[in-house]
Amino acid sequence: MRTRPVLLFDGDCGFCTSAVDVLQRVVRPRCTAVPWQRADLAALGVAAERARHEVLWVTPAGTVYGGVRTVAKLLLSAGGPWPVVGGALMVPPVRWVAHVGYRFVADHRGSLPGGTPACARPDGGTRHA
């Protein structure tokens, strides 16, 4: 049985990978970060379609959070001032505003610093993170 949450992110996306690297160095969340492409999604109870759509946080008990709630859970797991920020992200209307920001970043990650051609969708848009 897992004892740490798992952070699933898009390992093919340079922006996502860079963001996770920075979060691990600066925020130091208590989790195991794994690109969803290398994870045993079935064992985690996660559909590949959902993993393609958003960053995910899977608790040791198997509860799955996505998007801005993942960011909140990640911050709540860290030390220092980060849990205060994470707690704020869980409360409406802060969560609603943060969700809009998260979707904007996810939808435009291919054009952000660190974005790569792997972030582009086949239809010419950008994939979700």
Predicted confidence (pLDDT) at residue 54 exceeds the cutoff of 80: yes
Average pLDDT value for residue range 34-41: 97
Predicted confidence (pLDDT) at residue 125 exceeds the cutoff of 60: no
The answer to whether position 112 is within a domain reads: yes
The answer to whether position 78 is within a domain reads: yes
- Residue 73 belongs to what domain range? 6-119
Paired strand residues for 120: 126
Q: State the pLDDT confidence band at 106, using cuts at 50, 70 and 90.
A: confident
User: Regarding beta strands 64-66 and 56-58, do their DSSP bridges make them parallel or antiparallel, or are they unpaired?
Assistant: antiparallel
The answer to whether position 124 is within a domain reads: no
The total number of structural domains in the chain stands at 1
- For residue 100, CA distances in Å to 39, 41, 61, 67, 77 come to 28, 27, 28, 10, 23
The answer to whether position 126 is within a domain reads: no
Predicted confidence (pLDDT) at residue 116 exceeds the cutoff of 60: no
Each residue of 67-85: b (16+ CB within 10 Å) or e?
bbbbbbbbbbbbeeebeeb
Max Cα-Cα span within the chain: 42
